[in-house]
Structure 1
């Protein structure tokens, strides 16, 4: 053991904790392996809570560019943590392959596909689907732990749409997964006919079972609803709805209509896609048209009048970049200098630089990717009672 490690051993525990909290996540993981004392400190919920308060905000990219040679389907993919060096005058995205979590190597995910449906406080909710497979997992890529939730009540049969939300309550700090099962979907969503089965269920981590919430009052789209202020949010499909967004309150476990931004249409556009995200700590909506992207931001949560048109990005500003808009654009986050990170067509991680009014390709990953804001955490899944925890 080095002299530094020896001297650290003699320090009071509160001083050791303060020093460890100042280290990069990768260094903390290394320190955890030095001795039993440091291992116990890092594994303690108190340390996890303190670290989360100052946890550096980064990205979690789900990259699944490989296909199964037998089925032709995409493989489960790899969770890749991207650190953000974010300063007012510059920014940098860094990916360390050592910190990746390769889901392709996990036996439980073989011959299936994986989609991340949300991230809260370092925990990620994953949906596993495939022939006769419909499972929900919670994992922590930093501690390499995961748990599989009990089989859901509404097992997918035939054609159906599953809409997910993952969040934490504001009052009791409970982590919950909500999902709606939309069965027997009409072939034409514009017809106004609602699904014949539209019900929801919720799972509280540590409770060991799903609970039925009964009928859902709204028909929603966007399988992964962004979580903010103790709510999950989705787009409402119902044509007659006075608002085009809805929210699920994780505390009261109720659905409600949510104020939506003004409807905008471009006559010469054949396509109009909508996606939701979180930008600068505020709910945002991205309206994708044939040749432009409009980003709305709700400056004051829950107040309809606070919706603000943050930026309009024309396709023509970057003629050398192939980004014809025939799929939704997903906004991930904004940096200190105003740069906006977006995932385009699920195959490019782009940045919009407002000062230069240009869109650039980061070229970090190739095609088939999704992304979300991720704050690394040392929260251990063993702290949730009644859950069986495994290690990758």
Structure 2
């Protein structure tokens, strides 16, 4: 294949399975450069079957002081069924990385096969961008804030629709130290956002935002990060960040639903089949809303409703 034109070689390699691509990097320097190119990564991703990267921690508890294992799972679709195929060779054991040991690792974003990982515990507070397939990763510079005090941290990892620049946004919600020119340090309870753009060497302050955001990780879709908003005084229940313009705006949210007798209501945003969706969880009902046309409020559709009922005779719970 040495005599083949470069574009032909790319066409051939881009159709190979992920596991084979890893071995191709070791064949020669030319192939290493080809498969490491961002164009090749995008082309290969468009031709690859659907897959999931599952972050598994064998130790119970979300805040376990163990990094866990990243497991690659391929989705095999059939006419009326779906199968998940896990290849142990494709697993990435984060527990073996010296920098990650004795710390908690949370997955806070995923774009084009890259994962954004947040490390905490044992005095550590680091952000990593990881390619779990190639076993490569980079650590981002330390942030300005959250050096002392308590703060909830909200993340999103994405890429601009126009500029195609990868960025990580990190929002601090709570008591943080604000650097000043004087020797004294002031502490304030604010919601402050910082952005890191790939290719730069530092985080940049964007702005303070007036609303408390729910969940530590917002889903990325169409060049925007999405979060649910706490509070009843906001015009919409969804707040978005534009990765191109670096601005915050409200976003059309689905109708507000109430269930009589339900004391709890949790909202979770996600991406389902390329569409923004919201999962409303009540004590006795689960509702999934799907936005069929991005940005159009009237396109929100109640896609699925799961109700639970209690049998007084059997003392069991049944799903409708």
The TM tier, using the shorter chain, reads 0.7 to 0.9
Structure 1 residue 233: Cα displacement: 0.3
**Secondary structure of 1:53's aligned partner:** helix
Structure 1 residue 53: Cα displacement: 2.6
**Secondary structure of 1:256's aligned partner:** strand
Q: Aligned to 1:221, which of 194, 207, 214?
A: 214
User: 1:1-392 residue pairs with structure 2 within 5 A?
Assistant: 8-66=1-59, 73-184=64-175, 196-315=189-308
1:64–1:74: 8 Å Cα contact kept in structure 2?
no
- 4+ long deviations beyond 4 Å: none
**Secondary structure of 1:295's aligned partner:** strand
Q: How far apart are the structure 2 equivalents of 1:213 and 1:44?
A: 30
Shift in alpha-carbon separation, 1:22–1:316, aligned structure 2, 3 A: farther
1:180–1:216: 8 Å Cα contact kept in structure 2?
no
Per-residue deviation, residues 148-182 of structure 1 (Å, max 9, x unmatched): 11110112533320001110001110000111101
Structure 1 residue 79: Cα displacement: 1.0
1:67–1:74: 8 Å Cα contact kept in structure 2?
no
1:273–1:288: 8 Å Cα contact kept in structure 2?
yes
Shift in alpha-carbon separation, 1:156–1:257, aligned structure 2, 3 A: farther
How many pairs are equivalent? 302
Q: How far apart are the structure 2 equivalents of 1:217 and 1:250?
A: 19
Structure 1 residue 313: Cα displacement: 1.7
Structure with greater contact order relative to length (CA < 8 Å, sep ≥ 6): 1
Structure 2 runs not aligned, ≥5 long: 177-187, 311-315
Q: What TM-score, normalized to structure 2?
A: 0.87
Structure 1 residue 123: Cα displacement: 1.1
Counterpart in the other structure of 1:383:
none
Q: How far apart are the structure 2 equivalents of 1:238 and 1:289?
A: 18
Q: What TM-score, normalized to structure 1?
A: 0.72
Structure 1 runs not aligned, ≥5 long: 1-7, 186-194, 318-322, 325-356, 359-392
Shift in alpha-carbon separation, 1:290–1:133, aligned structure 2, 3 A: same
